[in-house]
Amino acid sequence: MIALRESLYEIFGLKGSLWDQYITFLRRFLTMDFGPSTISFPTPAKYLVWRQLPWTIGLLATTTIISWVIGNVLGAISSFRRGSRISKVLQAMALTLYPIPYYIMALVLVYLFAYLIPLFPLTGGAPVSEISLTTIFDIIYRSFLPALSIILPSMLGWWFLSSSTLTLNVMSEDYYLYAELRGLPRDLIFRRYIMRNILLPQTTALALSLGNIFGGALLTEVIFAYPGLGQLLYRAVGMGDYATAMTILSLSIIGVATATLIIDLIYPFIDPRVRYR
């Protein structure tokens, strides 16, 4: 019994003084090895995380980029053509969808398109034994509802409203008024004066959003039984699997820090006003 206890202390990094345990924690943080998972003992927690990671990256990276592109374009069009019918429709849709949490949107989509009109399955993942065209189509088909539940609130929510506000700020600048006085075509003004200026701060927000994908979309993945990091984190917290939870949280911290570093390094290439000396 004593040997078993000592072995468990060694496995979970609880051996030695507090200082020794802290050094062990830092070493495990750098190697992303926090010991075995209690959910699937004795499988290492990092193996479970690496197995679920492609599902989360595929879902959240795709939805983040799609919602960023469409949301910024629609928000800019809404403010650039303010007062028009399309502007009023887009603003009404944004104000309707923005307050709705993404997990409520997920429940609505499940009820409409998986129960009431069974066009899509309830589960958002499928076992993958080999990659083929049929397998890829099946993955996209099963991931459509989870992706839509994330895209709609974020596309017509934060990205739309922030780009709309930035567009209004650009339209109050002197260089924009000068471009209008010169009689430049409206499409040229929209592309070169509006979009190029509002995308600078939005690129920073995009990088931070991509860094956050390593935490997973917890409630969406639980609702759709999607085999990503969010569902794994939910199970880990519910069952006291600290090794798996620490692995996911550490990966999320590293992802945000890496995204921040990358955007700081490439910002001079996208913003001519920033230069390194």
Domains and CATH numbers, the chain: 38-270 (1.10.3720.10)
Q: Look-up: residue for tokens 């609702």? A: 223
pLDDT for 123: 66
Residue with tokens 């596309």: 155
Cα-only R_g, the chain:
23
Q: Which amino acid is at 160?
A: F
Gap between the Cα atoms of 116 and 230, Å rounded = 26
Q: Are 24 and 13 in contact (CB under 8 A)?
A: yes
Does the CA dihedral 229-234-239-241 come out positive or negative? positive
Per-residue pLDDT of the chain (277 residues; tens, 9 = 90+): 666 666 666 666 677 677 877 887 787 777 777 777 877 777 888 888 888 888 888 888 888 888 888 888 888 888 888 877 888 888 888 888 777 777 788 888 888 887 888 777 776 565 554 555 666 777 777 778 888 888 887 777 778 888 888 888 888 888 888 888 887 788 888 888 888 888 877 887 787 777 667 665 777 777 887 888 888 888 888 888 788 888 888 888 887 788 778 877 777 776 666 665 6
Cα separation, 244 vs 240, whole angstroms: 9
As a dihedral over the C-alpha atoms of residue 44, residue 49, residue 52, residue 54, rounded to 10 degrees, the angle is: -130
Q: CA of 139: how far to CAs of 58, 147, 213, 222, 250, in Å?
A: 10, 12, 19, 17, 27
What span, in angstroms and rounded, lies between the C-alpha atoms of 129 and 114? 25
- Distance separating the N- and C-terminal Cα atoms of the chain: 63
> How does DSSP assign 183-210, residue by residue?
T--HHHHIIIIIIHHHHHHHHHHHHHHH
* Nearest alpha-carbon partner for 224 in 64, 133, 115: 115
Contact 142, 120 (CB under 8 A): yes
